[in-house]
Amino acid sequence: MTETGKDDMFLDALFSEAREDAQDAASPDLLARVLQDAEAEQDSWTSAPAPVDTAAPRGVFATFVEALGGWPALGGLAMAGVAGVWIGVAPPEALSAEMAAVLGDDTALVMGLGSETGFFGELADAGEGDG
Amino acid sequence: MPLDATPELSDDVLLIRFANGDRAAARTLTLRLTPRVLAQATRMLGNRAEAEDVAQEAMLRLWKIAPDWRQGEAQVSTWLYRVAANLCIDRLRRKPPAPIEDVPEPADDAPNAEGQMQTRERLSALDGALARLPERQRQAVILRHLENLGNPEIAEIMDISVEAVESLTARGKRQLAQILAPRREELGFEDD
């Protein structure tokens, strides 16, 4: 037999022995550790429910806030409301003059009602004319 | 009880069952795949303790990827061999090669203690010779001749062509023969 042939046979026999030897190579301790990892992994999937399941039911107020655009939008809305009330209670001077020009002076209105002039006076006059 | 209680089920099917929480599938896959990945890592690293760490880590990665595993896309064993090979190569590159660990003595009362001792000696010689091969040759020889995989599967694991696998295994085998030839008789192979 040639040297190469002998080498091949020798190596093939060695490989064959090594393959048989590897069959029982894993120790019970290693197998137990691997199995423990496997079961821990499975447990982690079942013990970590989806976020949707754990979320508290959404309240009406939360839905309302979200519909308005969240808390920042709600803050802006509240500020606008407060400003409106404040302007109504204590209007700035400049605003009073402007409003008087547009809507008429409330003092004149009161006086007008008393002297039967102005809008209500005209109504009264018209009523008298009809009668 | 047989090690693999469901030999008719493929690794693919078992992995999907595992992902669905099947404990029996976890057990079968552990018993079926751990010895293979351990054998590969032991031959690659030449160190049993490190090989066990690699085997456990490779199996852990398999467990973690299980829910995303797509059936038929890759072979589970190919994927696992590849992960284990990469883990081994990482370790080999991080530190100089460790000496081959001592082979435990067989028990005195074993009926064929002498035969076992010679087998141990031969396997130890093989491990020593494998450790002297370049990394890629060693990996190819282990997968081809010790894990009995086909060249196309090895090519996939090593991410090279089938021709490159053939070349690596042929060169690796030649070099192993050169290393071991002087010990042929000593290891119980008659030179007639």
Query: How buried is B133 (Cβ within 10 angstroms: 0-12 exposed, 13-18 middle, 19+ buried)?
Result: buried
pLDDT at B185 over 90: no
Top-confidence residue, B101 or A92: A92
Angle at B171 between CA B169 and CA B172, to 5 degrees: 60
Domain total for chain A? 3
pLDDT of residue B66 exceeding 90, the answer is yes
For residues B102 and B184, give the distance between their C-alpha atoms in angstroms, rounded to a whole number.
21
A19 and A43 belong to one structural domain = yes
> What ipTM describes this predicted complex?
0.79
Instruction: Note whether B1-98 and B113-187 share their fold.
Output: no
pLDDT digit string, tens, across residues B109-137: 455 666 677 788 888 889 889 989 999 99
Rounded Cα gap, residues A10 and B31, in angstroms: 31
| Domain boundaries defined on chain B | 1-98, 113-187
What's the pLDDT score for residue A116? Answer: 53
Q: Across the interface, which of A23, A41, A46 has its CB nearest the CB of B35?
A: A23
Regarding whether A48 and A7 lie in a shared domain, the answer is yes
User: How far is the C-alpha of B8 from the C-alpha of A79, rounded, in Å?
Assistant: 72
Both A103 and A113 in one domain: the answer is yes
A98 pLDDT more than 70: no
Name which of A28-32, B5-9, B29-33, B108-112 the model is least confident about.
B108-112
Identify all chain A residues contacting B27, using CB atoms and an 8 Å cutoff: 35
- A44 and A9 in a single domain? The answer is yes
Same domain membership, residue A128 and residue A101: yes
The whole-number pLDDT of residue B73 equals 79
Domain identity same for A104 and A126: yes
Closest in B21, B42, B126 to A46, CB measured: B21
Closest residue on chain B to A42 (Cα): B21
Query: Mean pLDDT, to the nearest integer, of B38-50?
Result: 89
In this structure, are A43 and A62 located in the same domain?
Answer: no
Ramachandran region of residue B7, left (φ > 0), alpha (ψ -120 to 50) or beta? alpha
Same domain membership, residue A96 and residue A79:
no
pLDDT score recorded for residue A103? 64
Co-location of A66 and A84 in the same domain: yes
CATH top-level class of B1-98: mainly alpha
Closest chain B residue to A30, measured at CA? B52
Q: What pLDDT, on the 0 to 100 scale, is given for residue A5?
A: 76
Q: Tell me the per-residue pLDDT of B137-147, one tens digit each, with 9 for 90 and over.
A: 999 999 999 88
Indicate the angle between helix axes B76-94 and B48-65, nearest 10 degrees. Answer: 130
* Structural domain boundaries, residue A131: 91-131
Q: How far is CA B104 from CA B46, B70, B100, B107, B119, in A?
A: 14, 42, 12, 9, 12
Return the amino acid letter for A26: A
Other Cβ atoms closer than 10 A to B88: 24
Structural domain B113-187, CATH architecture: Orthogonal Bundle (1.10)
